Amino acid sequence: MRARRWLLTLAGVVVLVIAAFVAKEVAGPATPTASGSSPAQVQLAELPIGSWHSMAGYSRDRFKHWVTQGDGCDTREVVIERDGQDVRKDASCRATSGKWVSPYDNKAISKAGDLDIDHMVPLADAWRTGADKWTDERRSQFANDLTAPQLLAVSASSNRGKGDQDPASWKPANQAFWCTYATNWVIVKHTYQLFVTQAEHDALVSMLATCPS
């Protein structure tokens, strides 16, 4: 009798194991959770995907810059000092000497006049992805933002090569900067609730994949 009960119990266990296996196969592989995603990947997933708005009405003058930041300095001059080393300024807050490394092309620069201040998300791109609906005050805040990673001192040549292109059509020549570039781009778009195009989204996914795990 005891042997029979043992066999029945064993048979029940086998049935349960088989049932669990079948259920797993029917359900398919487990869906990855977001727990392994970086903050930038999570923010990118939250950005809406859309099609570019019209450039009708666009002008860089609609994004007033560079505004005064106090102590006789404007936004450009603040960024030049922030992003450089051993920067010295004259009485008008203009950098007279210093050292900079442009992260886009890894170019060493020793003259402030060879620098451009790049808008991480270009003004024209912002306009096409939602800023056309903003007030001029909001656009000026965007163009002079020293809090979000929107402004960066870079070589004039790299900035002009970038123009108003997004990551789908332009990436820094310095591939070691791709992770930071894509991360900062996503942060800015997320902060200002701008959308991305599908091509832009896909390029950012690819660039974020270069980040250390």
pLDDT digits (tens, 9 = 90+) for 30-76: 233 345 789 999 999 999 999 999 999 999 999 999 999 999 999 99
pTM: 0.82
Per domain, the residue ranges of the chain are 1-31, 32-208
Q: Cα–Cα distance between 58 and 77 in angstroms, integer?
A: 26
Burial of 165 per CB tally in 10 Å (0-12, 13-18, 19+): middle
pLDDT digits (tens, 9 = 90+) for 100-128: 999 999 999 999 999 999 999 999 999 99
